[in-house]
Structures are given as structure tokens and as C-alpha cells.
Amino acid sequence: MIRLTDEQWECIRKRFPEEHIADGRPGRRPVPTRRVLEAVLWILNTGAQWHMLPQSYPNYKTVHRRFQNWCHNEVLRRVLTDVANELRENGALDEEECFIDATFAMAKGGGAEIGPTRRGKGLKIMAIVDRHGLPLSVSTHAANHHEVRLVQLCFDFYMIEAKPENLIGDRAYDSDVLDEELRSQGIEMIAPHRSNRVRSLTQDRRRLRRYTRRWLVERFFAWIQWRRRLLVRWEFYPQNFLGFVQLACLLILFRQF
């Protein structure tokens, strides 16, 4: 059984919509949102199919319908954004030094935003984390897109208002065009040069010392991959898989309260 603590639920309760039935209208009483969310978290952790939801939780059809509504209406994204901004106000998030990377996930259920690669069909989970390894942006994209082209899309899912001062990535982000685009936004890109680089070197070796802490973003991916539903994308709709990723990030941020 998975249960949210009272403190965790109070932190997000006002941001989740409750279903209402008009007075005098026949039908069952709506299932409380807290119970639905706990059922979705059980699916996230176990990776089980929806119909395998234990009887101690609400009916799986109700849970699945409510979860899809949250994903379609971007409820989970707004909840995650509000929690991240609250943590920033409390000093728990530090955007001065951030790290960016992507991880691959197989896609078995078909649907949109899936791309072919040498490893098979799948998608990329892109993430930006702060200097403590806490998520500031998570998004999913087809796996056949190069990561350099996805950086700007990551900022469309950025959770807090302040952009990072230094953004650190691996050699995949070594791009003069990307450096100029981010510098115009007040962001300094720090990435080791590729071995086949033709143009002159642009990175300062002293600033590249920050690269040694890039393990923080790798640790973040290890954290979310403990949630078995994220190892393989079975959802047909990409927003549903993104919803599971956002819930995994929410559980990470809960640790800071």
C-alpha cells in the first residue's frame, strides 16, 4: 500500500481538482482525489497494468480516467511547478549551477513522439537539475532528435522563474550555435569539446571543473528509474507518460519538506 502523508497531501491538496456531483443528481459519490493519486503512485512504483490495481484502491477505470484528465489538462505540471517555486522561496533550490542530460526509454505501446534508434524505438527523457540534483525541468521527446535541438524545448517545461546562470552538459551539448542562443538569454553553457571538433576551442578549462559534478543529473535519472513504470513507455499518449515522469519528480521534491 502506498499512502501520502498528511503533510505531503496538504502541500498539494489545493492544486488538485475534486470531482463534484450536483445536488439531487443520481449516481455514486466521487472518489476523493487523494485516494486516486495514491492509486496512480502504486502504478508508478510497481509498473503494473491498470487492471491489476489492488481492491484496496478505487476502481482502476476511475483511476485511469482521472489520471488521463490530469495529464490532458496539465494539472500535474502545474502542481510540480508550484511545489518547485515554493522550495525555491524556502532556499531548497539553487539555480546558479544546473546540469542537463537525457536518458533513453524503450517504447512498447506505440503512439506519437517515438523515434527509431540503434537501440530500438523509444524516447528521451530530458532533465535539468539544480546543484543539489533536484529537478527544474523534465520533458519527453522522440529519441531520434539530437539533444542539442531539445535544449530550448526543455526551457518550455522549466519550473521556476529564474533561469540557470551556468548550464553544464556532456560532449553532446558542444555547439557554438547553442552557446550563442543560451548566452543571449543570460545562460552560460559549459560542455567539454567533442574529439572531432573542427573549429577553435571556446571553453575555459577553469570553468570546465564544474563538469566533475555532472554526476548529479545521472543520480537524478537513477532516482526516477526506481519507478518501474518509467523503464518502458507503455502509454499510447505521450502526455500520459510525461505525467508519470512528473509524478516521479514530485516524489523527489517531497523529500525536501
pLDDT tens profile 219-246: 999 999 999 999 999 999 999 999 999 9
Q: What percent of the chain has pLDDT over 90?
A: 72
Residue environment code for 82-99, b if the CB has 16+ CB neighbours within 10 A, otherwise e: ebbeebbeeebbebebbb
DSSP string, 48-86: --GGG--TTSPPHHHHHHHHHHHHHTTHHHHHHHHHHHH
Confidence band (pLDDT; 50, 70, 90) for 28?
A: low
Task: Give the span between the Cα atoms of 69 and 42, in whole angstroms.
Answer: 18
- pTM of this structure: 0.92
pLDDT tens profile 144-201: 999 999 999 999 999 998 889 999 999 889 888 898 999 999 999 988 877 766 566 6
Q: Where are the alpha helices (DSSP H) in 90-156?
A: 151-156
Beta-ladder partners of 99? 129, 168
Q: What is the pLDDT of residue 130?
A: 96
Q: What percent of the chain has pLDDT over 70?
A: 91
